[in-house]
Amino acid sequence: MTLWLVDGERACYHLGASSDAGRPVSAGYASFAAGLERLRDKGVRLVDFGGLAGGGHEDGLACTRSGRANDKRPAYLCGLVLGQPMHVALTSATRAPGEWSPACRAVNRNVTVLVHGAGER
């Protein structure tokens, strides 16, 4: 599963997940490829895969993102949290070691995702 935020001809990769059965066979790669094909078919011309804080990363996330991109650009992010009550509720939940972090990514949570300007809901 991959989740993309789409605005006209631009899309931003938000997150992806695989099941326990899917991880050993690298199902995430197939899901990513299918998502990119669907975005292309919907007229998306620019995809932002997200970034990493700082530089000089050699970990798996950095390798994955750099392997799918043909360019690097700096990003300037706003430090404003929209929907403060929901943010506090999701980030203040206590978790046992090994549980999802942040809590908003936990399975079976009742969370509403609102995407402004998306072409598909």
Residues 60-112: tens digit of each pLDDT: 666 666 666 667 666 665 667 777 787 777 777 666 555 555 555 555 544 44
Is residue 26 in a domain? yes
106 located within any domain:
no
Task: Give the chain's domain count.
Answer: 1
Decide: 68 and 49 in contact? Cβ < 8 Å.
yes
Asked, for residue 37, whether it belongs to a domain, the answer is yes
Q: Is 43 a domain residue? A: yes
- Residue 42 has a pLDDT of 92
Place of tokens 């999701």: 90
* pTM for this predicted structure: 0.50
> Residue 104: inside a domain, yes or no?
no
Domain extent, residue 62, equals 2-78
In 3D, which of 104, 46, 100 has the Cα closest to residue 71?
46
**Structural domain contains residue 74:** yes
Cα separation, 36 vs 11, whole angstroms: 10
With 50 as the cut, is the pLDDT of residue 114 above it? no
How large is the average pLDDT for residues 27-47? Answer: 90
In sequence order, which residues have a C-beta less than 8 Å from that of residue 99 and are 6 or more positions away? 106
Residue at 91 is within a domain: no
